[in-house]
Amino acid sequence: MNMKRLPQISESEWEVMKTLWDESPLSSLEIAKRLKLHPQTTRTFISRLVQKKAIRFLKKGRAYLYEPSIEESDCKTMMSQKFLQRVFGGSLQPMLTHLVEQDALSEEEMDALRKILRRKGNQS
């Protein structure tokens, strides 16, 4: 699915998506149990996600099973870009500076980030 055509997914719907990305296909009742939500609430989220074409259903006997129709990595990329645009004007550097200055990154996380930056720098 084209990145520009990915559906808008609410936080609650995101939880359903994460559940299905972890394991699918699942019934609405299985999703409700995993998320500890009321079955009707879960069915509402599922219905919205089907309408948005974020998930699809398979009919197995009398049961409906649901699975994602969009990739998790595509959604994460889209959500990250929207967050960066909204909060940091689309620039990654101010966000990283903010996280480092606020001690939001552990030494271990900073080491991992340094390795990624070095690897990216060597690719240029």
- In the chain, domain spans: 3-68, 91-124
Residues 6+ apart with CB under 8 A from 62: none
pLDDT tens per residue, range 86-124: 999 999 899 988 988 888 888 999 899 899 999 988 886
pLDDT score, position 121: 87
3-state secondary structure of 70: coil
Cβ neighbour number for residue 42 with a 10 Å cutoff: 24
* CATH top class, domain 3-68: mainly alpha
pLDDT at 66: 98
For residue 64, the model assigns a pLDDT of 97
Q: Looking up tokens 């995101």, which residue turns up?
A: 14
User: How far apart are alpha carbons 44 and 80 in whole angstroms?
Assistant: 26
For the stretch 20-79, pLDDT in tens is 999 999 999 999 999 999 999 999 999 999 999 999 999 999 999 999 999 999 999 988
Residue 105 DSSP SS3: coil
> d(Cα 114, Cα 105) in Å, to the nearest integer?
12
